[in-house]
């Protein structure tokens, strides 16, 4: 794909809707079915029998409240031995239908999960999978793969989790503490749960009588909302700056540079409003934009109509996942 606008984001955190960002894709493997988008479960039943795992995953998504306005599905014939078949299907798909963000699949074997994890590492997407293996998360180390441990992975907590959170705009939520309709608690002890979190995995547990996701991590240890927010900012900046370039001639002078700066600032303001960027003590977004003037730009860049002089930084808001509160009682 030819692109005139490139946005490069580097995260410097130690530990770390708009179209597409809320839509899951289910990669089904019981037979070939063309890509299609569905707004209700009855439509899914027209292409996928109720006994198929793909239908059950769609059912889990639509059972959540809220749930995505629509989901996408693509069926492939998979013999269960060559994971390259799954990767080939996805590579073909993104060439023609790429306006979806969350990848799910009815295949839950470790080989399939590993192959799909490796594929998603090269995409601006997130892959969710359910597993009954406590050791799998530490083998992946992927900031775009999310594993949820459950002793019954075919209750599809991965689909329920995506169904619950995908409708929320990036930055608005943390993926921890989420309750899912139709999924019971995982059979996991405290020691195993702590190790699972250390390894970048998640589970579904009962705390104070409430069922909830135990963490919100990708297998790299990064938080899901950070990755999604990063992708959102990048996509919106590409759109904003591209539209400016497409709409009018932007002169290569300081007034033209100011147009580009304005577009970048608009996205950072939006990110602040959505809760992606933190607020300072005065309630202002903690972001900055720097731009090199025309006079400071290399002559060759001006001659070649290339401007690489804008840089920005922002402090992510994150979310509070744990707290300690101290008090004293006196007479």
Q: What is the pLDDT of residues 180-202, one digit of tens each?
A: 999 999 999 999 999 999 999 99
1 confidence band (pLDDT: 50, 70, 90): low
Give me 105's structure tokens. Answer: 């699949």
pLDDT at position 80 is 78
Give every CB contact of residue 53 below 8 A, 6+ residues apart in sequence: 28, 30, 106, 154
Mean pLDDT of the chain: 92
**315, exposed or middle or buried, with CB in 10 Å at 0-12, 13-18, 19+?**
middle
Q: Answer for the pair 142, 218: CB distance below 8 angstroms, yes or no.
A: yes
pLDDT at position 321 is 85
Question: Left (φ > 0), alpha (ψ -120 to 50) or beta: where does 200 sit?
Answer: left
pLDDT at position 14 is 35
pTM: 0.90
* Average pLDDT score over residue span 66-78: 95
- The domain 24-222 having CATH identifier 3.40.50: the answer here is yes
Spans of all domains in the chain: 24-222, 226-314
pLDDT at position 104 is 98
d(CA 223, CA 230) in angstroms, rounded, equals 11
Whether the pLDDT of residue 29 is over 60: the answer is yes
Give me 273's structure tokens. Answer: 């409003």
Tens-digit pLDDT profile for residues 5-18: 665 555 444 332 46
* Average pLDDT score over residue span 226-240: 91
pLDDT at position 193 is 97
Tell me the three state secondary structure of residue 184: coil
Residue pointed to by tokens 């998640």: 202
Q: Answer for the pair 47, 75: CB distance below 8 angstroms, yes or no.
A: yes
Tell me the three state secondary structure of residue 152: coil
pLDDT at position 15 is 30
Packing angle, helices 254-273 and 224-247, rounded to 10: 150
């Amino acid at each position: 794909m030819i692109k005139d606008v490139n946005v490069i984001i580097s995260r410097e955190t130690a530990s770390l809707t708009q179209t597409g960002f809320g839509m899951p894709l289910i990669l089904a493997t019981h037979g070939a079915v063309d890509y299609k988008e569905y707004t209700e479960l009855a439509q899914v039943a027209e292409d996928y029998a109720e006994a198929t795992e793909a239908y059950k995953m769609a059912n889990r998504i639509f059972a959540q409240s809220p749930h995505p306005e629509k989901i996408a599905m693509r069926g492939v014939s998979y013999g269960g031995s060559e994971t390259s078949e799954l990767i080939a299907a996805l590579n073909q798909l993104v060439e023609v239908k790429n306006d979806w963000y969350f990848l799910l699949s009815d295949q839950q074997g470790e080989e399939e999960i590993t192959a799909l994890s490796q594929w998603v590492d090269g995409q601006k997407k997130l892959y969710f999978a359910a597993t009954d293996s406590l050791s799998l998360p530490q083998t992946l180390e992927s900031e775009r793969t999310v594993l949820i441990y459950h002793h019954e992975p075919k209750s599809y907590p991965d689909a329920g989790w995506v169904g619950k959170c995908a409708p929320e705009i990036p930055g608005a939520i943390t993926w921890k503490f989420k309750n899912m309709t139709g999924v019971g608690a995982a059979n996991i002890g405290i020691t195993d749960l702590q190790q699972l979190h250390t390894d970048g995995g998640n589970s579904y547990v009962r705390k104070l009588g409430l069922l909830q996701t135990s963490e919100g991590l990708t297998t790299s240890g990064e938080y899901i909302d950070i990755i999604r927010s990063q992708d959102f900012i990048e996509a919106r900046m590409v759109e904003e700056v591209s539209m400016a370039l497409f709409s009018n001639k932007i002169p290569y002078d300081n007034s033209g540079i100011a147009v580009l700066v304005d577009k970048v600032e608009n996205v950072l303001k939006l990110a602040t409003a959505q809760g992606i960027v933190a607020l300072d003590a005065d309630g202002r977004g903690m972001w900055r934009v720097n731009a090199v003037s025309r006079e400071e730009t290399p002559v060759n860049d001006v001659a070649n109509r290339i401007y690489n002089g804008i840089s920005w930084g922002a402090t992510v808001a994150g979310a509070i996942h744990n707290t300690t509160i101290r008090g004293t009682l006196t007479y």
